[in-house]
Copies of this chain bind each other. A is one copy, B any other.
Amino acid sequence: MIKKLIDEIVKKDAPIVVGLDPMLSYVPAFLLEERKEALGETPECAADAILEYNKKLIDAIYDLVPAVKPQVAMYEQFGIPGLKCYFDTLKYAKEKGLIVIADVKRGDIGSTSAAYATAHLGNIKIMNKEYRPFESDFATVNPYLGTDGVKPFVDVCNECDKGIFVLVKTSNPSSGEFQDRLIDGRPLYEHVADKVVEWGAASMDGTYSNVGAVVGATYPEQGERLRKLMPNTYILVPGYGAQGGKGKDLKHFFNKDGLGAIINSSRGIIAAYKQEAYSKYGERGFAEAAREAVLAMKKDIKENL
């Protein structure tokens, strides 16, 4: 699957993934108002408005970027209607030819991780028939439980041609609290990186592995070091834009082949219409504003590589 992602990155000349993380405050008010009469002030109303928002965003950007990354928490908070919206969003993105990175950060003991891997990357067998629970191509995975919590995901990657990105050094301010602590003179995240390389060796797909890593744009020095430690690992880089990561910080996340990293932006794209720079589009032009923001991000990354 990583090969397919790389092909799409090269084809669209964009190492960019758009995070579909629809906080209700990002959703233009008119989308909610239009549905309020029929659906009431309900989770169903919110979910339907978010689905329309996502579809219009996807329509506006699907020819520019290889992938989208829905953050499942933003859907889970609306209960079952929210998760139905998540399901429909994945389906719509796939129909538009996009690769879907499910930002689920799952991870548990072996048998439970196997169930999560089935949910997000695999097929569930019901008696004699098989179904895909959710239509995603990659999932993000939490490594705290060690190898037996990650291996079931790697197994499904191999069975179903899928991929994962394992949390190594996250983008948030307190990520260093545990991740930066020194073990035998090296930070925990480097030990996790060693394991990512080991796990990844069991699922190579061309030059890179289906087992990738998450390293935040907000930690460029650590990114440079991790790039060298994991030469065949694709790095998913969140934290660009709204979280503070800048184009000039991204250079060292890439390998000399120009590959090896894919940069995520969520708020900076999907809520671009709220920024001064895109105010001319107004609330009803949210999708065009998102398209402009993708083009600006593309330029920013190009100029800094």
Contacts and interface: CB of A to CB of B under 8 A. Distances in A.
Interface of A: 21, 23-24, 32, 36, 40-43, 45-46, 71, 73-74, 76-80, 82-84, 87, 105-113, 115-116, 118-120, 124, 126-129, 131-134, 142-149, 167, 170-179, 181-184, 188, 191-192, 195, 238, 243
A21 B173 CA distance: 35
Given A79-B131, A142-B142, A24 B126 contact: yes
A52 to B, nearest CB: 15
Contacts of A148: 172-174
Nearest to A132: B79
B133 A77 contact: yes
Contacts of A106: 73, 105
Nearest to A49: B126
A23 B118 CA distance: 12
A111 to B, nearest CB: 7
A142 B107 contact: yes
A179 to B, nearest CB: 7
B73 A119 contact: yes
B145 A43 contact: no
A73 B105 contact: no
Given A106-B73, A131-B79, A144 B178 contact: yes
A153 B232 CA distance: 36
A126 B43 contact: yes
Given A79-B134, A145-B172, 13 more contacts: A23-B111, A36-B127, A41-B128, A73-B119, A76-B120, A76-B133, A77-B118, A78-B119, A79-B124, A80-B80, A143-B178, A146-B172, A183-B188
A131 B41 CA distance: 10
Given A42-B129, A83-B80, A116 B73 contact: yes
A192 to B, nearest CB: 7
B143 A144 contact: yes
B170 A144 contact: yes
Contacts of A111: 23
B183 A181 contact: yes
A190 to B, nearest CB: 11
A127 B172 contact: no
B77 A109 contact: no
B178 A126 contact: no
Contact of A76 (B45, B115, B132): B115
A285 to B, nearest CB: 23
Nearest to A83: B83
Nearest to A32: B127
Contacts of A172: 109-110, 145-146, 148-149
A295 to B, nearest CB: 26
A146 B177 contact: yes
A46 B175 contact: no
Contacts of A182: 183
Q: Which 5 A-B pairs have the closest CB atoms?
A: A146-B177, A146-B174, A79-B133, A73-B115, A109-B172
